[in-house]
Amino acid sequence: MFPCEIDQILKLRPLEESDADVMFGLIERNRAHLDPWLRWSGRVKTLADAQALIQRFQQKWADGDGFHAGMWVNSQLAGGVVCHFINRESNKSEIGYWLGADFVGQGLVTRASRAVISYLFEDENMHRIEIQCATDNIPSRAVAERLGFQQEGIKRESDWLTTRYADHYMYGLLESDWPR
């Protein structure tokens, strides 16, 4: 899967420890844009926190249990696509995505997520992929729906998002729903 060239400008590759400075800088510059929606960005308060997050996902990748792929636009980190877990007993996974404000509206998340979804269905043999979006996060919900995910319900106050518990829509996509 990685590195993965989506098109002439967009590439995916797992974040490495050497990316911690760049990742932390992107998160710091985009706190107002990211922290209201992400389950993890509010806990990345220092460079050491960014390094620890990257190390955790490097271990998940090594264990075959997920990854955090940076979205690189013309060699600049724009955001990421996260595979939170790969459950091989039930053949399901959960993905998420994040993007710096300067990169919004270019279709990057949709294109990168399509590649990750194809990989999870075709190479990892997943049967189901889930996405959770805060109910008031309209742009994130639009991505899930554009990708063909079906809204399946609401998880009330399911996750802490920096300053509040938020309700999340649960979206699901089955392998049989995904066009090959």
- Mean pLDDT across the chain, nearest whole number? 96
For residue range 63-122, list pLDDT tens digits in order: 999 999 999 999 999 999 999 999 999 999 999 999 999 999 999 999 999 999 999 999
What share of the chain has pLDDT > 70, as a percent? 99
Q: How many Å apart are CA 92 and CA 110, to the nearest integer?
A: 20
User: At CA 110, angle to CA 109 and CA 112, rounded to 5?
Assistant: 65
Mean pLDDT of 132-158: 97
Residue 2 has what pLDDT? 87
Residue 165 has what pLDDT? 96
Q: Tokens for 96?
A: 């998420």
Place of tokens 């189901």: 128
For residue range 40-61, list pLDDT tens digits in order: 999 999 999 999 999 999 999 9
Helix 47-62 vs helix 20-29: angle between axes, to the nearest 10 degrees?
A: 120
CA 67 to chain centre: 9
Q: Are 162 and 129 in contact (CB under 8 A)?
A: no
Residue 179 has what pLDDT? 86
User: At CA 25, angle to CA 75 and CA 29, rounded to 5?
Assistant: 110
DSSP 106: S
CA 10 to chain centre: 15
AA identity, residue 150: Q
Q: How many Å apart are CA 48 and CA 17, to the nearest integer?
A: 10
Residue 144 has what pLDDT? 98
Query: How confident is residue 123, by pLDDT bands cut at 50, 70 and 90?
Result: very high
